Structure 1
Amino acid sequence: MTGLPGSLADLGPAALAAVVVAGYLVVGEPLVGHVLHRRFEERLRTDARARRSFYGRLLVLEWGLATVALVVWLAAPGVDAGAVGLRWPQSFPGPLATAATVLVLGFVVLSTRALRSGVLARAAEEVRRSGEGRHAEPAVHATLALLPRTPAERRLFTVVGVTAGVCEEWLYRGFLLAVVAAVGGGPSTPVLVVVGAVAFGLAHAYQGVAGVVTTGVLGGVMAALYLGTGSLLLPVLLHALVDLRFLLVPAAALPDAVPGPA
């Protein structure tokens, strides 16, 4: 449905730059993300502005990288907007993509209810009191640490959530899958879905194994939805919804201090 590139020749003079940026998304982003989140967690212990500062860094990094990918795509005259998902949906999602989307929406509802009821916060508090905070599950820790507490943090987090929907779908679905298709000579849809899942999961390696699996599944669903409709529109909306659900979690349901991961 997407008319993806069939060879590197389609990327023209932008081929090398496109491969470099795609390589960074798969290999470099997990390393950079780990370092940034570890520094954020350390700063969070002593700096009340740590979250707002981290949100600001995320906005700069995501929009900056998305802009670089956009410039690279513009330098590839043989790849039109449809080949990177920048168009209206061309068809309805297939049955598998639809079922996967329903499952993701169910996950959004259930996880939001768990957060609102303070389930994760109580679990983190029990770990802290038991003196085992250093062994807290990284995915739970990373989620709790990043959630906004104050009105100012919530406003900025709203921008971050929308940014994640737009930039990450453009980078990991529109741009990355076009480059993978060009390098692989037009791989099948299942292969592209797996690549999209693995790359997106690895980008969240700072969350530990559970986080990689969860975000990997989400990445696969988004890739299937994108490839099935030929457009990034629905993945962007669904992705933003997944992130913005955290705004429904009241600050009272979150711990003031979050135990650090191992």
Structure 2
Amino acid sequence: MTTLAISPDFTTPSAALAAAAALYLAVGEPLVGRRMYASLGRRRETQPGALVRYFRFTLGFWVLAAGLFGVVYACSPGIAAADLGLAGPTGTTGLGVGIAVLLGVVLGAHRLRGAARDGKHVPGLDEIAALLSRTRQERRYAAAVAVTDALCSELLYRGLLLAFGVGVLGLNLYVAAALALLIYAGAGLYQGRGGIAVFAAFGAVCTALYLSSGSLLLPVLAHAALSLRDLVYVPTVMKGRIA
């Protein structure tokens, strides 16, 4: 049962900014992300600093995105913090599901790390091979990106898009959530069709956590745990990593 009840009242400027953000996330991000990742894949073996530059750009993008989120909130006195998911979790259902998801990620990370150490195939890593760290500097940037991406993408894809769907488009909460999930799935285009499916599945989990807890805290924690697993924890023990 959902504990999320939002009624955001956007001003005209904040609605325009949120609409621009939604348009970019729906159309621009899948295309830009796919092009950037393809470019990184071509340069990864010949340019030692390619991944660090990619990570720096990603961090800069998320800082700007977080700034836009803050401007939308500041420009709309009729939007409460809870309308954007900026509240503590309520109810036991969401908390229980959140704990189960985090435990699943942690246990899965340990199993995948063991497989990587033994030289076995680790599902999902081939699709993000260009993002896997090989040096300590890359690892530090990977950790920063994992946490920043988790926080900022949940603020935008879950917090802002749901509020925009309800407050500006007048959609039912569940319809707004489904639309936001569809947009989020598109962000996985850089990994191909499989990536879209993975983003859709994980996005559904994060959406369920948000709807059931009324807070973005659990989705952010789950997202950060998964990203740290894939970008930092598992690749560290792979052969040829972390010089």
TM-score over 0.5 (shorter chain): yes
2:69 counterpart residue number: 69
- Residue 146 of structure 1, aligned match among 104, 112, 131: 131
Check if 1:160 corresponds to 2:159: no
Check if 1:201 corresponds to 2:203: no
Q: Is the alpha carbon distance of 1:19 and 1:81 closer, same or farther for their aligned partners in structure 2, counting shifts above 3 Å?
A: same
Aligned amino acid, residue 48 of structure 2: A
Q: Is the alpha carbon distance of 1:228 and 1:156 closer, same or farther for their aligned partners in structure 2, counting shifts above 3 Å?
A: same
Shift of 1:192: 3.6
1:12-161 matches, within 5 Å, as: 12-13=11-12, 14-94=14-94, 98=96, 102=100, 105-106=103-104, 109-110=107-108, 113-114=111-112, 116-118=114-116, 140-161=125-146
Shift of 1:102: 3.3
CA contact (8 A) 2:158 2:177 kept: no
Shift of 1:254: 4.9
State the secondary structure of the residue aligned to 2:133.
coil
Check if 1:183 corresponds to 2:168: yes
Shift of 1:250: 4.7
Shift of 1:208: 0.8
Aligned amino acid, residue 110 of structure 1: G
Shift of 1:194: 2.3
State the secondary structure of the residue aligned to 1:16.
helix
Number of matched residues?
237
Q: Is the alpha carbon distance of 1:92 and 1:51 closer, same or farther for their aligned partners in structure 2, counting shifts above 3 Å?
A: same
Q: Is the alpha carbon distance of 1:152 and 1:90 closer, same or farther for their aligned partners in structure 2, counting shifts above 3 Å?
A: same
Distance in 2 separating the partners of 1:251 and 1:175: 34
Structure 1: stretches of 5+ with no match in the other structure: 125-136, 257-262
CA contact (8 A) 1:62 1:164 kept: yes
Q: Taking structure 2 as the reference length, what is the TM-score of the superposition?
A: 0.85
Structure 2: stretches of 5+ with no match in the other structure: none
Distance in 2 separating the partners of 1:195 and 1:105: 28
CA contact (8 A) 2:44 2:51 kept: yes
Aligned amino acid, residue 195 of structure 1: L
Aligned amino acid, residue 113 of structure 1: R
Aligned-residue CA RMSD (Å): 2.7
Shift of 1:30: 0.6
Distance in 1 separating the partners of 2:66 and 2:159: 11
CA contact (8 A) 1:115 1:121 kept: no
Aligned amino acid, residue 57 of structure 2: R
Distance in 1 separating the partners of 2:58 and 2:5: 31
Aligned amino acid, residue 217 of structure 1: A
Check if 1:174 corresponds to 2:162: no
Q: Is the alpha carbon distance of 1:112 and 1:56 closer, same or farther for their aligned partners in structure 2, counting shifts above 3 Å?
A: farther
CA contact (8 A) 1:12 1:76 kept: yes
Q: Taking structure 1 as the reference length, what is the TM-score of the superposition?
A: 0.79
- Residue 219 of structure 2, aligned match among 229, 235, 239: 235
CA contact (8 A) 1:81 1:87 kept: yes
Shift of 1:103: 5.5
Q: Is the alpha carbon distance of 1:24 and 1:89 closer, same or farther for their aligned partners in structure 2, counting shifts above 3 Å?
A: same
Distance in 2 separating the partners of 1:80 and 1:164: 23
2:7 counterpart residue number: 5
